[in-house]
A and B are shown apart, each in its own frame.
Chain A
Amino acid sequence: NAGVTQTPKFRVLKTGQSMTLLCAQDMNHEYMYWYRQDPGMGLRLIHYSVGEGTTAKGEVPDGYNVSRLKKQNFLLGLESAAPSQTSVYFCASSPPPLDGYTEAFFGQGTRLTVV
């Protein structure tokens, strides 16, 4: 099994450009999350989804949009990239807590640089 796959792994954008990061999971998980990781700030939750067709804001949602049209995919969009969005982005998925298996599985990350 591939687990959680993020595409692309690296990207350089110019200020004002747009892009979409794709997260795909093959574990049939209900929950999916997008985080950004910055030095000294840990992982901060951008948006998350508790099921197909649902999304919710996390701690730092401004400047990002998400969509969950299919259960296995969670897309993160930057409409107009800014240098402050330079970061490493991680996607994660997990089963719902009802199942008792509450572990989140992470992708390998996407390193995004906005110049």
Chain B
Amino acid sequence: AQSVSQHNHHVILSEAASLELGCNYSYGGTVNLFWYVQYPGQHLQLLLKYFSGDPLVKGIKGFEAEFIKSKFSFNLRKPSVQWSDTAEYFCAVRGATNKLIFGTGTLLAVQP
């Protein structure tokens, strides 16, 4: 069955610290991978996506993610976080079944 696992449930960082959020998926076929962000009180917005080509994907607001097929991973990174990055981050995967499945999310709190 298709599933997504996010290992970090709650992350607290100081401004300018580096960020890496883990995401592993379970699906044997070709996948599309996504990271979404949800700011407090708002709906989900796309940060970045991968569906083919270069496994290092760059998104908005300085975020990037690397697809490592052998590890079934799609970790999100940012070299230097800002207070405005405080939000909840969701990894998602879509396989051939067309289901778009999300992980349980990671709450990021950035302290000024």
Bound CA span A90–B44, Å: 9
Residues of B within 8 A of A (CB): 6, 9, 32, 34, 42-46, 49, 51, 90, 92, 94, 98-105
* Known A102-B32, A109-B43: A48·B49 in contact at CB below 8 Å: no
Question: Number of contacting residues on A, CB 8 A?
Answer: 27
Interface centre among B90, B94, B99, B103 (most CB of A within 10 A): B99
Closest to A4 in B: B43
User: Which residues in B have their C-beta under 8 angstroms from that of A59?
Assistant: 101
New contact pairs (18) apart from A50-B98, A102-B94, A108-B43, CB-CB < 8 Å: A41-B104, A42-B90, A42-B105, A43-B90, A44-B102, A45-B101, A45-B102, A48-B98, A59-B101, A94-B100, A97-B51, A102-B49, A103-B49, A104-B34, A104-B46, A104-B92, A107-B43, A108-B42
Q: Out of A33, A41, A42, A100, which one reaches B100, CB within 8 Å?
A: A33
Check A42 against B94 for contact (C-beta < 8 Å): no
Bound CA span A97–B9, Å: 30
Nearest 7 pairs of A and B residues by beta carbon: A42-B104, A43-B102, A106-B43, A106-B44, A42-B105, A102-B32, A42-B102
Shortest CB distance B16–A (Å): 28
Bound CA span A56–B15, Å: 43
Q: With an 8 A cutoff between CB atoms, is A23 at the interface?
A: no
Bound CA span A48–B32, Å: 17
* Known A100-B51, A104-B100: A90·B32 in contact at CB below 8 Å: no
